[in-house]
Each structure stands twice: as C-alpha cells, then as structure tokens.
C-alpha cells in the first residue's frame, strides 16, 4: 500500500489536472459557439449562391467550364485532408487518419496515383513519411478565414487546370454534434453537377430560354464556379473547426469526470492508509504499555 504522502501527492496532482481540463472545456465551448455561428452565416451565403446557380442549372453542361469538365481517365488524385493543429480532442484526428488511409488504399488499388495535401498539423505529421505529400497549408485551421480558402482554392484550380491532378477530393470531419464527428469525402474538382442542384426546391430547373443573363452565361459561370469552389473549401474549414472544438470539449469533460473519480478513489485509499497507520500506532503503544 502506498504511503499517505504519496496519496496526497497524487490527489494534489489530479486536482490541478481538473482545473486545467475544466478550463479547456470552457474555452472549447466558447470557441464552438463562435464556430457554429460562423457556420450558420456561411449556410445563409450558400443558400443564396445555390439559389442563383439553381436558376441557371438547367442550361449548365459539363463542358461549359473547365472546373466542371471531368477527365476521360482520372489517373492522378489529390486528397485535401482537414485535421486539427492541436491534440487533446479525443478520436477526432485518429478517426480521420484511419479514414484517409482506407480511402487512399482503395484509390491506389484502382491504379490511381494518390497525393495528399493538408490543412492541419496533425494530419501532416502522421502522413509526412507515410504518403506522397503535395502541400501543407499551415496555420489555416485555428481561425478559418475566407482569405485562406481563396488562396487554397486558387492553387488547387491551377493544379487541376495544368493537368497535375485529374481529380481533387476533400476529406474532413462532418460536424454532427459536439459528441459526434463523421469522416467524410467530397469531390471538389471537377465540381460535380449535383452540387448545382437545389434539393429543397419544389420546381424543376429553369431552362436556358426562360431567362436572359447579363453578363452572358459563360461569363457568369466564370465568376460563380470559382466562388463555389472557394466556398466549399471555406465551409470545410468551418466544419473542421467546429468538429475540433466539439471533440475537445467532450474529451475534456470526460477527462474531468475521470479525474474526479480517481480523486474519490485515492481519497478513500488515503483514508484507509491513515486509519491503518493510526491502528498500528495504537497497537504499538498498547504493546509497549503491556511490556512495562
């Protein structure tokens, strides 16, 4: 049995840990609220953009814009992976890393050359020596900004247009709730035409001869399609941020609970050790008195 001093040291250490985990939980809860507010604002923007594109979706064809035109044979694939910069967020990064490894193996088995790009330090650290890393975008996940999304989207569009990659997919944790984040993969470029559909609309898509565009349809798509790509990257950054803070809040709450349970357990053991020490001292005193 450990000594009373050792139990006091363990209990003191656990109480300090509880202070840290409680603080981290409150900080993550505050950041999660702000991330969710940013998500809601982004959804409003997405709704307006989708409504605008939906009005012309009936006249959009794959060959009308380079970012809509799929390659005849996709040999080179880039996976843009969104992870966190910091740890202490449960299985948030581990589940995503396993998912990326599985998808990468599946694509490689299909005969495709898979490259990886990263938004987030944790994913890059794991795959730095385990995969073909194309690029790492550092410092963009802590505070998602549309400026970073624009720069990332511009480089991805250039890589696709130059023929360096035939397909570009995003892999990120879809935010379901603070308790649940599900790894998900979405094709980014070429932009699937399904992205241009408004699934909530009650009517069919408008035909090209039902309206007049100013500027022309081609010029309009030149402005809208790149904006939609930027938005999809930005929204994935927001999803990743919300999921990270939600996972960390949950992990710190569990850590606080577990530390509290250990404090109770060590307190009980300390009391037993103290009682045993008192009993031993009494026995020694009584034995000494009887000997005299």
Annotation marks residue 119 as catalytic = no
Instruction: Give the Cα separation of 203 and 292 in Å (integer).
Output: 104
Order across the sheet with 113-119: list the strands.
133-137, 113-119, 76-82, 167-177, 180-189
H helix and E strand count, the chain: 5, 5
Of 38, 78, 89, 255, the active-site residue reads 89
Say what the pLDDT of residue 201 is. 44
In degrees to the nearest 10, what's the CA dihedral of 272, 278, 284, 289? -140
**Two tokens, residue 42:** 């982004």
Q: Where in the chain is the domain with CATH 1.10.287.80?
A: 4-25+251-291
What are the start and end residues of each CATH 3.40.1380.10 domain in the chain? 35-249
Q: How far apart are CA 83 and CA 126, in angstroms?
A: 11
For residue 61, what pLDDT is reported? 57
Taking the chain (292 residues) in runs of 10, the rounded mean pLDDT of each run is 79 88 85 80 71 59 67 85 84 87 88 88 86 85 83 88 87 82 85 54 47 67 80 86 84 88 88 82 78 70
**Residue 180: phi, psi to the nearest 5?**
-140, 125
Report pLDDT for 60.
57
- What pLDDT is stored for residue 234 in this prediction? 87
pTM: 0.76
CA–CA separation, 81 and 173 (whole Å): 9
**What distance in Å separates the CA atoms of residue 16 and residue 13, rounded to the nearest whole number?**
5
Strand runs labelled E in the chain: 76-82, 113-119, 133-137, 167-177, 180-189
CATH homologous superfamily of 35-249 equals ATP synthase, F1 complex, gamma subunit (3.40.1380.10)
pLDDT of residue 200: 46
Residue 166 contacts residue 20 (beta carbons within 8 Å): no
The fold for domain 4-25+251-291 equals Helix Hairpins (1.10.287)
């Amino acid at each position: 049995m450990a000594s009373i001093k050792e139990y006091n040291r363990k209990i003191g250490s656990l109480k300090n840990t509880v202070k840290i985990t409680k603080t981290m939980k409150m900080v993550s809860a505050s950041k999660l609220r702000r991330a969710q507010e940013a998500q809601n604002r982004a959804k409003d923007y997405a709704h307006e953009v989708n409504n605008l594109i939906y009005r012309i979706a009936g006249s959009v064809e794959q060959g009308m814009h380079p970012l809509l035109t799929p390659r005849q044979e996709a040999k080179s694939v880039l996976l843009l992976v969104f992870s966190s910069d910091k740890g202490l967020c449960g299985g948030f990064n581990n589940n995503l890393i396993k998912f990326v490894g599985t998808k990468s193996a599946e694509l490689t088995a299909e005969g495709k050359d898979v490259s990886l790009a990263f938004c987030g330090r944790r994913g890059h650290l794991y795959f730095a020596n385990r995969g073909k890393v194309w690029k790492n975008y550092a410092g963009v996940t802590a505070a998602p900004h549309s400026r970073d999304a624009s720069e990332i989207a511009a480089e991805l569009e250039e890589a696709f247009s130059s023929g360096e990659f035939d397909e570009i997919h995003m892999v990120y944790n879809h935010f379901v709730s603070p308790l649940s984040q599900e790894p998900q993969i979405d094709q980014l470029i070429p932009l699937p035409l399904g992205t241009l559909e408004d699934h909530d609309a009650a009517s069919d898509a408008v035909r090209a001869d039902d309206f007049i565009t100013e500027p022309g349809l081609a010029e309009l798509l030149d402005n809208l399609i790149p904006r939609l790509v930027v938005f999809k990257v930005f929204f994935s950054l927001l999803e990743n941020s919300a999921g990270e803070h939600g996972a960390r809040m949950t992990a710190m709450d569990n850590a606080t609970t577990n530390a509290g349970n250990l404090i109770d357990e060590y307190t009980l053991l300390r009391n037993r050790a103290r009682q045993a020490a008192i009993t031993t001292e009494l026995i020694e005193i009584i034995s000494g008195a009887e000997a005299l």
